[in-house]
């Protein structure tokens, strides 16, 4: 009869007890059978999870089913008990681990009824000799407490249970050196701290000592050290008060300091260590006991382990990770972050570059210096991480200290050569800008741009093809702008750059890149943040054009995937996936750049739009998705919807902005006589921008034409309408827009430098148009460029064309 007791389908609840029995019969080891097929256990667990075989669903109506399921689970648990008490270690192991799974999977009433018994069965195995069983029992107990901790009603009971576990765990931490055991023991401890803080309170000091001794032992892997750091950082949560938190931070900082003193011996900055201690411990107060000790009487752990350079570094970095975890995690009480010592610590590490003080007799052998320099990058990286953590946790409260951080970062940026570290510096800059807003971005702007220009410049400067915009121009300009970077001339500077990044790599193909992709991504992200925040600021300095050009080039070249011959890319063992991220980063930055330009139409709008259209066609990629969204964002640039606010048309924003219409009231002359006429202009402003080909050819006299809509509104418009033809496509229209915007710039800026820039822009546009227009355009535009160079006259003229506006313009008066 039983043979034909069929169920409806695989979801039938009646199936569950039978499946469980089947598992017990065939797959779970028992007393008698041998047990060698270990992977089978993993199958058992997955079946149990998928079918919820242990859940004993409470919604059941059928009493016989309830009973049969209950008895099935009972026999499951009994089988586990049998396995647990088996002498064969592998069977015992199976019992332990399956009980852990049962803790997660079983019905909550069963769990609450039997967790004490289960714990008692598991506990002895924690103290066996076999590390294998220790790991398994720690994991299972940890799962038991994880479940218990989420049940509020048994908190008290749970606390007393946890009390039985805590000492064995600490003992494990102290005695055991097996990585796997430590790992699960630390996990269990973290669990207990999180859910049963009262238990830990009584053993706070011994827990601290155990963790610290492991950190100082120098025998743990870096992953293990990170875990230990997190565990140490969460320790004060067990007490849940401000004082224990502050005490631990103080202890950690002092310990870092003394280790740094050891590491930096002989480079002549001992005074910084003392200064640091003075900051941390106010005069007249006793220093806290050393880390890992409850009182001064016990010997310091630091002294016990006089360690090698390598362990020294790993100790320092672990403690730094611990610091950052402590300040970034959330608490339900307030904590006083010792900001000055933290910043002093970061500064101390970042200013140490392995150089020796020039004045004194060296206290260091070359051997010592070598080993110091070997470890320094790791230390730098950790302190940059710490700095990021500080910025993230303090946010606006960092303002009083922000200026010193800016100075530190700017200084460090100049010195830093390693790509990995530069990535982190960009990350610091980014988080600073995000947390502290416009003010911070404005003060970091110059340095971020400088560095990004260097890091993002393609190598092909020397082999530049004449058709494209010459990057040397930007480079030279950059150099002229910022003499502090000390590069006397372009060729040497470029060479220097090569040496900096990849030594001996000068003979690479043109599409090859000088800097690692990760660094480029970081630079692009920092640039994007900067543009988001202060895209509008100080645009008259001309940095926008440079950045925009850079981004256009980067985005264009990102379509060319690196080839196998591109040594650097593959040398660095970068997965090709990185390139996708890079592509996305360039397009993001470009979008932000185009959108953040205010007051003027972005110079490279046409090129940008084309790139986004091209990106959109790469169907199915992330890039295509992003480009589609970006095109929607930028639609407002194509069809402006708002009337600009500026009434006082400065000479700079001539006809490119359709805003010339409203004049402020004081200017009665202007208002009464021309306003009606001007309003008319406004309605047709859009068409005025869409000039046709003939118009473009007449670029030499661009200035006159541009001003035409305002000066001789009627004429110009008629002219436009007459020559207007339907062939004006999008690119063209915006290209025209570009040129017309550029003109006002000239009026503002000093002539010589500006002319090159204008030249660049004009060429740029033509480049974009070249594909669809005849070659005559490019020759024309070259001519245009020459014209500009030859004769700066129109610039001066342009100002004179607005005599009344200039006079009425109150800017000069209002500027600082």
Which residues ranging from 215 to 244 are in contact with another protein (CB under 8 A)?
234, 237
Q: CA-to-CA distance for 327 and 389, rounded, in angstroms? A: 7
- The distance of closest approach from Cβ of residue 326 to another protein in the complex, given in angstroms and rounded to an integer, is 11
Cβ proximity to another protein: between 579 and 670 the closer is 670
| Cα Rg, the chain, nearest whole Å | 35
Cβ proximity to another protein: between 25 and 333 the closer is 333
Region binding another protein by CB under 8 A among candidate stretches 51-59, 138-146, 418-426, 782-790:
138-146
Q: Can residue 400 be called a binding residue for another protein (CB under 8 A)? A: yes
Q: Can residue 257 be called a binding residue for another protein (CB under 8 A)? A: no
Query: Residues 296, 299, 303, 305: is their CA dihedral positive or negative?
Result: negative
Contact partners, residue 686, CB within 8 Å, separation at least 6: 658
Residue with tokens 């003109």, as numbered in its chain: 743
Q: Can residue 175 be called a binding residue for another protein (CB under 8 A)? A: no
Cβ proximity to another protein: between 323 and 372 the closer is 323
- The distance of closest approach from Cβ of residue 523 to another protein in the complex, given in angstroms and rounded to an integer, is 21
Region binding another protein by CB under 8 A among candidate stretches 178-186, 469-477, 708-716, 753-761:
178-186
Q: Where in 25-84 is the site for another protein (CB under 8 A)?
A: 38-39, 41-42, 45, 49
CA 643 to chain centre: 37
What does 213-276 look like in DSSP terms, one character per residue? HHHHHT-S-HHHHHHHHHHHHHTHHHHTSHHHHHHHHHHHHHHHHHHHHHHTTTSS-HHHHHHH
Q: CA-to-CA distance for 24 and 43, rounded, in angstroms? A: 13
Q: Can residue 814 be called a binding residue for another protein (CB under 8 A)? A: yes
Task: Please name which of 268, 261, 258 lies closest in space to residue 355, comparing C-alpha atoms.
Answer: 268
Q: Can residue 683 be called a binding residue for another protein (CB under 8 A)? A: no
Cβ proximity to another protein: between 102 and 553 the closer is 102
Q: CA-to-CA distance for 784 and 703, rounded, in angstroms? A: 12
Helix (H, G, I), strand (E, B) or coil at 295: coil
- The distance of closest approach from Cβ of residue 597 to another protein in the complex, given in angstroms and rounded to an integer, is 10
Cβ proximity to another protein: between 530 and 710 the closer is 530
Our CA angle for 518, 523, 529, nearest 5°, is: 125
Q: Can residue 532 be called a binding residue for another protein (CB under 8 A)? A: yes
Cβ proximity to another protein: between 527 and 611 the closer is 527
From 389, 394, 423, 768, residue interacting with another protein (rule: CB under 8 A): 394
Query: Residues 566, 572, 576, 578: is their CA dihedral positive or negative?
Result: negative
From 13, 19, 154, 194, residue interacting with another protein (rule: CB under 8 A): 194
From 537, 634, 637, 638, residue interacting with another protein (rule: CB under 8 A): 537
Q: CA-to-CA distance for 229 and 454, rounded, in angstroms? A: 37
- The distance of closest approach from Cβ of residue 805 to another protein in the complex, given in angstroms and rounded to an integer, is 14
Q: Can residue 671 be called a binding residue for another protein (CB under 8 A)? A: yes
- Contacts of 217-222 spanning 24+ positions with Cβ under 8 A: 217/177, 217/305, 218/305, 218/307, 218/308, 218/310, 218/311, 218/314, 218/315, 219/177, 220/179, 220/182, 221/179, 222/314
> Total binding residues for another protein by CB under 8 A?
104
Q: CA-to-CA distance for 435 and 392, rounded, in angstroms? A: 7
From 301, 376, 427, 440, residue interacting with another protein (rule: CB under 8 A): 440
The burial of 441, by beta-carbon neighbours within 10 Å (0-12 exposed, 13-18 middle, 19 or more buried), is given as buried
From 17, 338, 615, 658, residue interacting with another protein (rule: CB under 8 A): 338
From 190, 346, 526, 761, residue interacting with another protein (rule: CB under 8 A): 190
Cβ proximity to another protein: between 800 and 815 the closer is 815
Q: Where in 145-174 is the site for another protein (CB under 8 A)?
A: 146
Cβ proximity to another protein: between 38 and 495 the closer is 38
Cβ proximity to another protein: between 401 and 613 the closer is 401
From 54, 80, 121, 140, residue interacting with another protein (rule: CB under 8 A): 140
Cβ proximity to another protein: between 297 and 812 the closer is 812
What does 571-604 look like in DSSP terms, one character per residue? HTT--THHHHHHHHHHHHHHHHHHHH--SS--TT
Region binding another protein by CB under 8 A among candidate stretches 415-423, 532-540, 691-699, 730-738:
532-540
Q: What is the SS3 assignment for 695-720? A: HHHHHHHHHHHHHHHHHCHHHHHHHH
Task: Please name which of 242, 409, 252, 416 lies closest in space to residue 320, comparing C-alpha atoms.
Answer: 252
Q: Can residue 547 be called a binding residue for another protein (CB under 8 A)? A: no
Residue with tokens 């990535």, as numbered in its chain: 423
Q: Can residue 279 be called a binding residue for another protein (CB under 8 A)? A: yes
Q: Can residue 114 be called a binding residue for another protein (CB under 8 A)? A: no
Residue with tokens 């997660």, as numbered in its chain: 104
Q: Where in 607-666 is the site for another protein (CB under 8 A)?
A: 642-643, 645-648, 650, 662, 664-666
Cβ proximity to another protein: between 104 and 369 the closer is 104
Cβ proximity to another protein: between 287 and 439 the closer is 439
Helix (H, G, I), strand (E, B) or coil at 809: coil
Q: CA-to-CA distance for 178 and 368, rounded, in angstroms? A: 32
Q: Can residue 85 be called a binding residue for another protein (CB under 8 A)? A: no
Cβ proximity to another protein: between 263 and 326 the closer is 326
Q: Can residue 534 be called a binding residue for another protein (CB under 8 A)? A: yes
- The distance of closest approach from Cβ of residue 383 to another protein in the complex, given in angstroms and rounded to an integer, is 18
From 153, 295, 297, 332, residue interacting with another protein (rule: CB under 8 A): 332
Instruction: Say if CB 400 and CB 392 are below 8 A apart.
Output: no
């Amino acid at each position: 009869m039983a043979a034909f007791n069929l169920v409806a389908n695989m979801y039938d609840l009646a199936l569950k007890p039978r499946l469980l029995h089947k598992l017990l019969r065939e797959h779970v080891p028992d007393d008698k059978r041998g047990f060698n097929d270990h992977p089978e256990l993993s199958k058992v667990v997955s079946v149990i999870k998928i079918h919820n075989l242990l859940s004993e669903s409470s919604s059941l109506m059928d009493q016989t089913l309830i009973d049969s399921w209950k008895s099935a689970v009972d026999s499951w648990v009994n089988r586990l008990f049998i396995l647990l008490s088996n002498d064969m270690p592998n069977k015992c192991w199976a019992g332990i681990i399956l009980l852990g799974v049962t803790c997660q999977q079983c019905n909550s009433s069963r769990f609450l009824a039997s967790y004490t018994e289960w714990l008692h069965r598991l506990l002895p195995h924690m103290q066996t000799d076999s590390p294998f069983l220790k790991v398994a029992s720690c994991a299972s107990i940890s799962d038991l407490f994880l479940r218990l901790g989420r049940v509020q009603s048994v908190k008290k009971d749970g606390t007393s249970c946890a009390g039985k576990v805590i000492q064995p765990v600490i003992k494990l931490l102290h005695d055991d050196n097996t990585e796997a055991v430590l790992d699960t023991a630390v996990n269990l401890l973290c669990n207990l701290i999180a859910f049963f803080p009262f238990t830990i309170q009584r053993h706070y000091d011994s827990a601290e000592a155990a963790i610290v001794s492991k950190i100082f032992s120098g025998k743990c892997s870096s992953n293990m050290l990170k875990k230990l750091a997190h565990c140490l950082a969460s320790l004060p949560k067990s007490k849940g008060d401000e004082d224990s938190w502050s005490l631990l931070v103080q202890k950690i900082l002092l310990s870092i300091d003394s280790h740094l003193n050891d590491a930096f011996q002989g480079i002549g900055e001992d005074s910084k260590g003392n200064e640091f201690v003075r900051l941390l411990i106010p005069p007249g107060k006793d220093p806290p006991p050393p880390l890992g000790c409850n009182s001064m009487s016990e010997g310091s752990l630091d002294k016990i382990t006089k360690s090698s350079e390598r362990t020294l570094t790993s100790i320092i970095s672990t403690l730094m990770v611990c610091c950052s975890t402590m300040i970034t995690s959330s608490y339900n009480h307030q904590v006083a972050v010792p900001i000055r010592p933290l910043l002093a610590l970061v500064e101390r590490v970042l200013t140490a570059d392995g150089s020796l003080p020039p004045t004194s007799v060296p206290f260091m052998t070359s051997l010592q210096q070598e080993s110091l320099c070997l470890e320094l990058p790791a230390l730098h990286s950790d302190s940059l991480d710490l700095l990021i953590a500080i910025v993230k946790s303090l946010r606006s409260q960092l303002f009083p200290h922000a200026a010193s951080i800016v100075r530190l970062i700017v200084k460090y940026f100049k010195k830093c050569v390693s790509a990995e570290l530069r990535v982190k510096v960009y990350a610091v800059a980014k988080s600073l800008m995000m947390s502290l807003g416009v003010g911070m971005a404005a003060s970091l702007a110059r340095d971020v741009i400088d560095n990004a220009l260097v890091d993002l410049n393609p190598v092909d400067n020397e082999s530049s093809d004449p058709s494209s915009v010459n990057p040397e121009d930007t480079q030279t300009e950059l150099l002229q702008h910022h003499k502090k970077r000390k590069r006397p001339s372009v060729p040497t500077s470029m060479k220097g750059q090569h040496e900096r990044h990849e030594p001996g790599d000068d003979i690479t193909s043109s599409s090859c890149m000088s800097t690692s992709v990760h660094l480029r991504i970081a630079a692009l992200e920092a640039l994007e943040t900067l543009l988001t925040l202060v895209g509008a600021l100080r645009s008259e300095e001309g940095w926008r054009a440079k950045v925009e050009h850079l981004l256009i080039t980067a985005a264009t070249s990102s379509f060319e995937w690196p080839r196998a011959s591109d040594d650097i890319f593959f040398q660095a063992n970068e997965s090709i996936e990185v390139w996708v991220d890079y592509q996305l980063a360039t397009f993001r930055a470009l979008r932000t750049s185009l959108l953040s330009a205010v007051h003027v139409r972005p110079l490279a709008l046409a090129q940008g739009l084309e790139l986004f259209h091209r990106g959109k066609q790469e169907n199915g990629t992330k890039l295509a998705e992003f480009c589609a969204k970006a095109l929607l964002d930028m639609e407002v640039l194509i069809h402006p919807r708002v009337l600009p606010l500026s009434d006082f048309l400065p000479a700079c924003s001539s006809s490119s902005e359709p805003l010339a219409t409203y004049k402020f009231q004081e200017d009665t002359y202007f208002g009464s006589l021309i306003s009606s006429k001007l309003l008319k202009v406004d309605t047709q402003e859009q068409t005025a921008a869409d000039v046709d080909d003939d118009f473009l050819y007449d670029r030499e006299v661009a200035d006159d034409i541009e001003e035409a809509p305002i000066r001789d509104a009627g004429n110009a418009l008629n002219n436009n309408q007459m020559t207007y033809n339907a062939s004006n496509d999008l690119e063209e229209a915006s290209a025209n827009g570009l040129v017309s915007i550029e003109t006002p710039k000239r009026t503002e800026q000093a002539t010589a430098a500006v002319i090159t820039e204008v030249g660049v822009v004009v060429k740029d546009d033509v480049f974009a148009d070249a594909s669809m227009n005849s070659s005559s355009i490019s020759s024309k535009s070259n001519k245009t460029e020459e014209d500009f160079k030859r004769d700066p006259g129109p610039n001066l003229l342009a100002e004179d064309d607005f005599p009344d506006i200039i006079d009425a313009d109150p800017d000069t008066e209002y500027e600082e």
